[in-house]
């Protein structure tokens, strides 16, 4: 067996994509590459590989353990499903960067040191931004730039924390960090930005709906889950994450009910579900960490399935908004079925993958007697079903008939959605293969009578509430509008900051131009013009003082005329002016 780094496998394979001729062979290559990389990865024994020395520190680019494997496994599966779905995309740029994006995510989870992790972390930002830009619309262009700027800022915060942490500890090892210093807080915040923490989340709901029909499938899988992994590795048991997670689980409910764009609804749902993972990491027990990892695995499957279903709708109709869709089940029945499977898994319907994984987190909260947290997660589960689990399939495929009659999704899209659906169902009924991938041994059974009955009661309550509101006509109105989020304050604030900086610095520049360029330099040039004549006059006047006034004036006129006849070279005048200005500047800074 050749011990090949799985990230290197994907990255080098991605670079070959533009060189291959379009056709069936290239399609097979795109789907097979992540599956071959997955096979290679599963053959790697646990341990560390490729140790290097750099400036006295140990670089460990490949560390294989259970925590890394569970995330790397689902990243490979997501890449294969995403590539199968994206076969209609003929842009080599988008497909290449999608595979590079997957390789960067795999690189993050296998990094045994902070330097390697950071390099792959920043690669996530660049590749994701290119994927957003590949839609080639004005909306995607702006969203891509905002995504890049936001994550560049997060990367700077993370890098500053890493530099300080290495200085304090003398080690680059990416292990448990904990919150006990300024450096660890900076690293914590850097990870939090990619996790879409409250107030730092607007990049997600801004960028993901603007990506192409296939690009959003990849975006939903890698960035936030890489951050979940990083926090599970560096900050397990950090109590602050519990409360951050609770807020993340609740606030998207209200935005999701109001959002008109269904892909934006799903984007808010990502924040909601990542909140559950934050709670699991913050509790810090073996059950809760296992639950966070398992739920991240499940989330990538069913959220990718939902983005694929809406991507197929976008591909066939060019639309994803509630006010523009409805009645598509007539001509896109299979896509409607797969969308409902993803929505049911999101809602944690028993016997689908969302149920046995989310239950581990809520059970961990109950075991630690965090009853307010348990209640908040229960409330969030009901709300998530209401605004996403029911809303998305209802308004896209049923609801008011939009009159659209698009053809069914292409075969390769149906295959990708079908495979994701089978995984959602199979791992929901038989979660043991997933449990075996988790970091700690699992002794947990989600399918107890109390768990199942409680969940069905919760789901019936949420579905009944939606039905009653629909019949009563009190569901939130969906109109063509702009949904304001915290990015409103960023944009208005930075617009005001830009205005202030413009007035200050451009005003200062204008004043400097007027005083130095126009007046001071002009005065110096005027003083230095015909300098030889002025020097000669200064030298001769003392000797001519004995002459009469008429004679002295005559000689001065003759001297001036002689110098006007032999004009002073411009270069000499400029040299004198530059010398005088230089002297004045040096005098100001040295006295």
Calpha distance 574→37 (Å, rounded)? 68
What would the two tokens of residue 143 be? 């969203």
Of 187-191, 428-432, 458-462, 563-567, the least confident = 563-567
pLDDT tens column, 295-330: 999 999 999 999 999 999 999 999 999 888 989 999
Q: Tell me if residue 63 falls in helix, strand or coil.
A: strand
Q: What is the mean pLDDT of residues 3-18?
A: 91
Q: What is the mean pLDDT of residues 466-485?
A: 64
What pLDDT shows up at residue 122? Answer: 95
Asked whether residue 431 carries a pLDDT value surpassing 90, the answer given is yes
Phi, psi (deg, nearest 5) at residue 153: -60, -45
pLDDT tens column, 391-415: 899 889 988 888 889 999 999 999 9
Asked whether residue 262 carries a pLDDT value surpassing 80, the answer given is yes
- Residue 126 CB-density burial (10 A; 0-12 exposed, 13-18 middle, 19+ buried): middle
Domain boundaries along the sequence of the chain: 1-211, 236-481, 515-590
572 versus 547: the higher-pLDDT residue is 547
Calpha distance 572→531 (Å, rounded)? 9
374 versus 556: the higher-pLDDT residue is 374
Residue 93, CB half-sphere, CA atoms under 13 Å: how many? 11
What pLDDT shows up at residue 1? Answer: 45
Q: What is the band of 518 on the pLDDT scale with cuts at 50, 70, 90?
A: low
Asked whether residue 484 carries a pLDDT value surpassing 70, the answer given is no
What pLDDT shows up at residue 496? Answer: 75
pLDDT tens column, 195-204: 999 988 889 9
What would the two tokens of residue 366 be? 């109950």
Residues of the chain with pLDDT > 70, as a percent, come to: 83
Asked whether residue 277 carries a pLDDT value surpassing 70, the answer given is yes
Calpha distance 349→355 (Å, rounded)? 6
Ordered alpha helix ranges (H), 178-320: 182-195, 202-207, 215-234, 239-250, 252-258, 262-283, 286-317
What would the two tokens of residue 216 be? 């959003």
Asked whether residue 529 carries a pLDDT value surpassing 50, the answer given is yes
Q: What is the mean pLDDT of residues 252-281?
A: 91
If we measure between CA atoms, which residue out of 304, 276, 299 comes closest to residue 289?
276
Contact criterion met (CB below 8 Å) for 227 and 204: no
């Amino acid at each position: 067996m050749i011990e090949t780094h799985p990230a290197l496998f994907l990255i080098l394979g991605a670079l070959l994509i533009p060189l291959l001729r379009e056709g069936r062979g290239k399609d097979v290559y795109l789907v097979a590459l992540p599956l071959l990389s997955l096979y290679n990865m599963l053959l790697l024994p646990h341990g560390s590989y490729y140790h290097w020395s750099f400036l006295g520190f140990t670089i460990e680019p490949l560390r294989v353990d259970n925590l890394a494997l569970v995330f790397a496994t689902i990243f490979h599966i997501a890449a294969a499903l995403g590539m199968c779905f994206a076969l209609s995309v003929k842009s080599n740029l988008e497909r290449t960067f999608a595979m590079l994006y997957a390789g960067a995510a795999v690189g993050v989870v296998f990094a045994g040191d902070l330097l390697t992790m950071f390099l792959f972390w920043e690669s996530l930002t660049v590749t994701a931004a290119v994927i957003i830009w590949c839609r080639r619309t004005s909306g995607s262009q702006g969203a891509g730039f905002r995504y890049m700027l936001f994550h560049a800022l997060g990367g700077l915060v993370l890098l500053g924390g890493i530099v300080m942490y290495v200085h304090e500890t003398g080690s680059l090892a990416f292990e448990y960090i904990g919150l006990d210093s300024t450096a660890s807080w900076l690293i914590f915040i850097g990870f939090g930005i990619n996790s879409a923490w409250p107030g730092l989340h607007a990049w997600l709901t801004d960028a993901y709906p603007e990506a192409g029909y296939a690009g959003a499938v990849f975006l939903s899988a890698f960035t936030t889950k890489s951050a979940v992994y990083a926090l599970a590795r560096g900050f397990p048991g950090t109590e602050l994450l519990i409360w951050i997670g609770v807020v993340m689980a609740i606030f998207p409910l209200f935005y999701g009910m109001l959002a008109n764009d269904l892909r934006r609804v799903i984007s808010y749902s990502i924040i909601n579900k990542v909140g559950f993972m934050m709670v699991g990491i913050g509790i810090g027990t073996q059950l809760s960490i296992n639950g966070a990892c398992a739920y991240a695995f499940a989330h990538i499957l069913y959220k990718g399935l939902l983005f694929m279903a809406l991507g197929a709708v976008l591909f066939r109709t060019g639309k994803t908004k509630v006010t523009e869709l409805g009645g598509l089940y007539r001509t896109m029945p299979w896509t409607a079925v797969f969308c409902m499977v993803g929505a049911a898994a999101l809602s944690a319907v028993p016997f689908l993958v969302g149920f046995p994984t989310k239950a581990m987190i809520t059970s961990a909260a109950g075991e630690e007697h965090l009853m307010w947290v348990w209640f908040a997660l229960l409330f969030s589960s009901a709300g998530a079903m209401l605004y996403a689990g029911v809303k998305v399939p209802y308004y896209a495929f049923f609801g008011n008939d939009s009159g659209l009659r698009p053809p069914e999704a292409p075969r390769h899209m149906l295959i990708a959605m079908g495979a994701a659906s089978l995984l959602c169902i199979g791992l929901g009924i038989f979660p043991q293969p997933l449990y075996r991938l988790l970091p700690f041994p699992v002794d947990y059974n989600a399918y107890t009578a109390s768990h199942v009955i409680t969940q069905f009661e919760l789901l019936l309550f949420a579905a009944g509430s939606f039905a009653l509101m629909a019949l009563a006509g009190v569901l939130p109105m969906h109109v063509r509008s702009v949904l304001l989020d915290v990015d409103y304050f960023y944009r208005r604030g930075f617009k005001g900051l830009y205005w202030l900086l413009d007035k200050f610095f451009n005003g200062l520049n204008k004043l400097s131009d007027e005083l130095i360029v126009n007046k001071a330099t002009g005065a110096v040039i005027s003083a230095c013009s015909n300098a030889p004549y002025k020097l000669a006059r200064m030298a001769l006047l003392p000797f001519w003082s004995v002459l009469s006034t008429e004679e002295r004036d005559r000689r001065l006129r003759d001297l001036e005329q002689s110098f006007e006849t032999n004009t002073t070279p411009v270069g000499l005048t400029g040299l004198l002016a530059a010398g005088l200005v230089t002297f004045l500047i040096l005098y100001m800074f040295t006295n």
